[in-house]
Amino acid sequence: MYSQIPTSGAGDFTVTRATSATRVNASGYIESAKTNLLLRSEEFDNASWSKNATGINTSIGTSGIQANVAISPDGTQNADRVNFNLQADLDVGLSQSYAAATVGQVYNTSIYFKGEGTNIGKQIKVRIKRLSGGSLVLSDATITLTSDWVRFASSAITLVASNSGVNVIVSSNDATDALIWGAQVEEGSSASEYIPTTTVARTRFAGVTVDGTSAINIPRLDYFASGGVVGCPALLVEPSGSNACLQSENFLTTWSPTNISVTTGTTAAFTAPDGTTNADLLTASASGSARIIQSFSFVSGTTYTYSAFAKAGSGFFGLTLENGGVASGAAVIWNLNTVAIAVSGTAGAGYTLQSQGIEDYGNGWYRCRMTVLLGRTVAGNMRANTSDGTMSSTVIQSASGNTVYIWGAQIETGSVATSYIPTTTAAVTRNADVISVSGAVSGSIGQTVGTIYCEFAFFGTPTSRSGPIYLRQAGLRGLSINFAPSDSPAGIRFSSRNNGGETAINIVSGALQIGTYYKIAIGYDASGTAAGGSQASGVVAYVNGVQTAIGAFRVPDAAGLTEFRMYGANAGSDVEEFNGRIRAAALYTTRLTNAQLAALTT
């Protein structure tokens, strides 16, 4: 799984996740799938591009376009020349529309341009606008041509009620022609890496580009490491999750401000955890409670985890879940300069603050999170606050002028802040990562003698039996490393199960260390004995270089172990979802020596 694009089809894992997702990439930024919504992004002579004769000199080339006349930024001769009729109407020229754009979404466009001869230093115009319906929404820009390729990126537009589609138009009242290449329209406030298209829109995620508008079933190699630095990549495997917080990156809409202003910007200070300049700045306009609010309906008996990314300004940062008037609720304030919780608390009945935390995502950004068990059903609110570090009951206080940067709000059920899920006008669900291989791999699994190795970390304490490795045969049977929350004491264990029953060996006892990587190696030999942990032991377990357990081994049934899953356990429903990161996994068809097991896990 360290290879994003396998070099051979033999034994490749099947990754199933029928939705897009995010990861931390090798540059340390939170990466989501990006889609170029324009067709024929390098073929401006194609009919996908409209040429209005008022703005385009259609008597030259193919309807005003001379194809493949120059070397483009990708080093091949595939750049086109567009020939203009000089006129001032920005609505006529070379254009393409994307009809499926949605209300409330943000769109930007980017195109490469280069000047030639006497047109160097002259100007062309680019307009991105709503295609039809509702109020006019547009962004205009003037580009001065140079002798080098320059990627123009527009200011973004947000479609409002009754708007339909977006339209991009290139025109000029100054330059008679320009070289053009690599046009892109995408969702979001900033241009991402260029994605070439032909007959369909194309999407890129985690180094893989696919046809269509979603990046499903792509493994997530995640580079997140504590301390805000890029670490060793790990396979990110999570259960399904949903972000019910709307407009998770746009705090000017859906969120209601009180005693606070929300400011956007394009300077480096506004660079968000995804590398774009789409963070917002919250500034308290009065002393007291300075906050932005989004309504939310809480359900009794449900655990919620509320999180947001914050960067220090002149004040503290706070999050609150409350019942609509703060007569009861839970609140946490973080000091982002010391990376510590300043104060937390609850008021009234029905709110149990189970945990709170902070994680460093680099570049001054921290993900602040709080987990609350609701004991009441209520139409309440989520709040994000600037703060002076104090609260009255659960009302977070601020001095006038206190500031903090914010991005990426998320509320989800459960006790874990899972990987970030961007939203706009509706809640978004990320499906579970289901990763397995069967058939061709069965010869790589030791049926009666072998070794299993895995380095992994849990995100949160599982509520059902789950784990990172499951060597499966039909009927809830096989070998697995899993966590059993119902065990006493609960811990990580190795299970071998056949038609006659299950033998489980506790290999890590005590409290599960969330976020801590475990290196675990299991050596098993059906002909051996567990007594004394000798070379011939039935099962011997090593964790982080130390032998932690010995035990008996149940031989797989005659059908054999035929599937390798990076999730689940050989019990329960057989499909329990793992929630964590897997740095490495390996199978051996021989029983490694105890010394080798110790070295492998050190």
Tell me which H or E stretch contains 595. Answer: helix 594-600
Distance CA 363, CA 29 (A): 10
Which two tokens mark 348? Answer: 């009234």
* pLDDT, position 5: 45
Q: What is the DSSP letter of 301?
A: T
Banded model confidence at residue 90, pLDDT cuts 50, 70, 90: very high
Q: Which CATH class is domain 434-600?
A: mainly beta
User: Do the domains spanning 36-205 and 434-600 agree at the CATH topology level?
Assistant: yes
CA atoms in the 13 A half-sphere facing the CB of 293: 20
* pLDDT, position 466: 85
Tell me which H or E stretch contains 594. Answer: helix 594-600
| 360, pLDDT greater than 90 | yes
Residues 6+ apart with CB under 8 A from 545: 519, 598, 599, 601, 602
Distance CA 419, CA 30 (A): 9
> Average pLDDT in the 425-431 region?
95
* pLDDT, position 104: 87
Distance CA 65, CA 63 (A): 6
Distance CA 524, CA 512 (A): 24
Residues 6+ apart with CB under 8 A from 367: 307, 308, 309, 358, 359, 361, 408, 417
The mean of the pLDDT values for the chain is 91
Domain ranges of the chain: 36-205, 242-430, 434-600
Distance CA 65, CA 68 (A): 10
Q: Which of 144-158, 160-174, 390-404, 487-501 has the lowest mean pLDDT?
A: 487-501
Q: What is the DSSP letter of 12?
A: P
* pLDDT, position 488: 66
The pLDDT tens digits of the residues spanning 272-303 come to 999 999 999 999 999 999 999 999 999 999 99
Distance CA 368, CA 358 (A): 5
* pLDDT, position 132: 95
* pLDDT, position 50: 98
Q: Which of 25-34, 148-157, 432-441 has the lowest mean pLDDT?
A: 432-441
* pLDDT, position 533: 40
| 536, pLDDT greater than 50 | no
CA angle 477, 480, 481 (to 5 degrees): 160
* pLDDT, position 532: 41
| 211, pLDDT greater than 50 | yes
Q: What is the DSSP letter of 324?
A: S
Q: Which of 54-58, 426-430, 566-570 has the lowest mean pLDDT?
A: 566-570
The pLDDT tens digits of the residues spanning 172-192 come to 999 999 999 999 999 988 899
* pLDDT, position 227: 77
> Average pLDDT in the 519-534 region?
73
* pLDDT, position 4: 43
Q: Which of 48-52, 523-527, 569-573 has the lowest mean pLDDT?
A: 569-573
Banded model confidence at residue 258, pLDDT cuts 50, 70, 90: very high
Is 7 strand, coil or helix? coil
User: Greater confidence, 474 or 589?
Assistant: 589
- Taking Cα atoms as reference points, which of 280, 31, 72, 35 lies closest to residue 179? 72
The pLDDT tens digits of the residues spanning 310-352 come to 999 999 999 999 998 667 899 999 999 999 999 999 999 899 9
| 407, pLDDT greater than 80 | yes
Report percent pLDDT > 70 for the chain. 95
Banded model confidence at residue 513, pLDDT cuts 50, 70, 90: confident
* pLDDT, position 571: 67
- Taking Cα atoms as reference points, which of 138, 167, 143 lies closest to residue 153? 143
For 36-205, the fitting CATH number among 3.40.50.2300, 3.20.20.70, 3.40.50.300, 2.60.120.260 is 2.60.120.260
- Taking Cα atoms as reference points, which of 418, 412, 105 lies closest to residue 250? 105
Cβ burial 525-546 (10 Å sphere, 16+ → b, else e): bbebebeebeeebbbbbbbbee
- In this structure, what are the phi and psi dihedrals at residue 596, rounded to the nearest 5 degrees? -70, -40
Distance CA 187, CA 193 (A): 13
| 511, pLDDT greater than 90 | no
For 242-430, the fitting CATH number among 2.40.50.140, 2.170.130.10, 2.60.120.260, 1.10.260.40 is 2.60.120.260
| 7, pLDDT greater than 70 | no
Distance CA 73, CA 166 (A): 26
User: Greater confidence, 96 or 483?
Assistant: 96
Banded model confidence at residue 51, pLDDT cuts 50, 70, 90: very high
* pLDDT, position 529: 56
CA angle 44, 45, 49 (to 5 degrees): 60
* pLDDT, position 6: 46
Distance CA 424, CA 247 (A): 4
Asked if residues 247 and 32 have their Cβ atoms less than 8 Å apart, the reply is no
Instruction: Please return the burial class of 272, using the count of CB atoms within 10 Å of its CB with bins 0-12, 13-18 and 19+.
Output: buried
Asked if residues 493 and 507 have their Cβ atoms less than 8 Å apart, the reply is yes
| 494, pLDDT greater than 60 | yes
